[in-house]
Amino acid sequence: MFNKVSYRQGIIEAVVIYTIGRLGALITPAFFPDWTFVVAPLLFLAFQLLVPPFWATRRITSTKQERLSKRFWRLGPLLAVICIGIDLFLSLVAGLPVSQFDIQRGPVLMRLFASGPNHLTLAGFAWLELRSAALIFVLFTVLVICTRLASGGMLRFTMPAGGNRVTL
């Protein structure tokens, strides 16, 4: 009953989860107290990269005979394209995601025209976005395919064991 949503609804839920993770990645890790200094950024990273394709693939309904159809082959790249667009928009108007020991330096649109240590070149920004896009595209595609194969029974096999069969 939990895994019964349409293809469109699964995509919308995954994009919302990605956006929450991406917005959380804008927060400087020093803002979090004590042990959450490490846990919170990792949680936001998981919401950004791991949870969306897994969530969408598990929630979308499918027939018992459907193993890995064309719509699931397209799900990973489609999610990646939408999330890359969101990432680009948030980078331009809100800022780049911060690393563990960095601080938020502001929106890219402002940093492109700034001078000094906060200056960001257009080539530098393009390189950062290209790396991020490649990671998202590959990771989302692989996660959708692996999740679908694991949930569709593809990783189960039957061993003959005498007169009886054992399914692993």
pLDDT of 94: 95
pLDDT at 52: 97
Q: What is the pTM of this model?
A: 0.87
Flag residues of the chain having pLDDT under 70.
Answer: 1-3, 63-67, 100, 152-168
List helix spans (H) across the chain: 7-24, 36-49, 51-59, 70-93, 108-112, 122-151
pLDDT confidence of residue 35: 86
- Return the closest-CA partner of residue 101 out of 11, 10, 37, 17: 37
SS3 category, 7: helix
